[in-house]
Each structure stands twice: as C-alpha cells, then as structure tokens.
Amino acid sequence: MQIGGLGVNGAAAFDGTSQIQKSAKKTVKNAITDGFVKQIQALAREDAQKGIYMDKGFSQLRRARMEQYVSPDRAGPMAKVNSVMNTLKKEQERIKVYLERLFGDYSAEIKGDSTFRTAEVYSPEGELIASYSDFYGQWTTHQTKAELHFITETDMIYLQAFREARAEMNAVAQGQPPADTAAVDIWA
C-alpha cells in the first residue's frame, strides 16, 4: 500500500543532479558552520594529543549536530505507521488501503496480510528513511544522502585537523618550531 507523499519515484533528476542531492548539499552546507568546524578541529587536536583517532567525543558531537540539522524526523512517521500497522493487524484478511496523504510530505508503503507486514517510510524528498518488518519486530533506519554527505564532510574536517595537530606535536618533539599550517577551503 502506498500512502501519500512522493514515494520512491519522486526523486526527479534535473541537469544530472537529483533534487535529493541538491537538497542534501544545501542541508549539509548549512549544518557545517564555522563554529562547528572549530569544534571539530579542537576535538581533533585533543585526540591527537591523546593519540586516539576519532575518540567518542567527536562521534557524539557529530551525531548530535546531524540529528539536529541534517536528519529527517523519523520518530514521528515511524510511530504513526506503527499505529496504522497495529490497526491493520486486527484485520483477518488481506487489506489494500490507499490514503492520499500521510503526515505532511512524508510517505509510507505498507505491504502484507494479516500474518506478516512490512513498512517503508520515505522522506519528503523521496528517500527511504526507515523500514519495519514483522519478522524482526523492529524498525531499521536508513541513512539519507544528506546524512552521508554530512558524515563525509565532517570526517574530512576532522582528519585534516588531526593530521595538523600530529604534525605540530612531532615538530615540537623534534625540537623544531611548529610550521604554519595552511588553511584549506573544504567548500571549494
């Protein structure tokens, strides 16, 4: 059953770049502010001094930022689809119900009969963001292009800052004054 929104066919491509990709890049660019980059760089320096690459502080910072600025709302649509599936579970025969809209621009597809069901939830851009199976009895979240892009960008910022901090530490250990670090524009 397809419920509302764009579904899987809603990601139209214009000029070779899908709306999802354009939206993902814009979302990530807005999420990675100068202040956030400085936080990543500070954590990378701290981790370099500890000799630990990507300690849990960075992962926690990135996850919190991504959930706040990049990740779609999964909990709301998942809870509503759970409610629909629980209602459908009470029926004894195969049900095919199509609803026009589901909770704004999100969409869902529910398949199955009275003994087994699956559900998929799609973002307003048409990306699969969560799925559910009666077999496992739990939800699986799926990474969006924006989330993947955000993780890649923050990994690169962290890696650069970590390498710079290690180079400075090695220079000091060898008795050399630290070299000026060149700034690289990751947005170029």
Whether 143 is in a domain gets the answer yes
Whether 188 is in a domain gets the answer no
Q: What is the pLDDT of residues 113-151, one digit of tens each?
A: 777 888 888 888 889 999 999 888 899 999 999 999 999
pLDDT at 11: 46
Whether 148 is in a domain gets the answer yes
Whether 179 is in a domain gets the answer no
Q: Please, is 179 exposed, middle or buried when counting C-beta atoms within 10 Å of its C-beta (0-12, 13-18, 19+)?
A: exposed
pLDDT at 179: 58
pLDDT at 38: 97
**Please, which residues have CB within 8 angstroms of residue 137's CB and are 6 or more apart in sequence?**
none
Whether 38 is in a domain gets the answer yes
**Please, which residues have CB within 8 angstroms of residue 25's CB and are 6 or more apart in sequence?**
149
Q: What percent of the chain has pLDDT over 90?
A: 49
Domain count, the chain: 1
Whether 103 is in a domain gets the answer yes
CB-based contact 178:168 (threshold 8 Å):
yes
Backbone angles phi, psi at 28, to 5 degrees: -65, -40
pLDDT at 177: 63
Angle, nearest 10°, between helix axes 56-69 and 145-173? 150
Give the structural domain span for 121: 2-9+17-173
Radius of gyration over alpha carbons of the chain, in Å? 22
**Widest distance between CA atoms in the chain:** 78
Residues (pLDDT < 70) of the chain are 1-17, 89-104, 177-188
pLDDT at 7: 47
Whether 62 is in a domain gets the answer yes
pLDDT at 19: 84
Question: How far is Cα 165 from Cα 53, in angstroms, rounded to an integer?
Answer: 11
- The model's pTM is 0.60
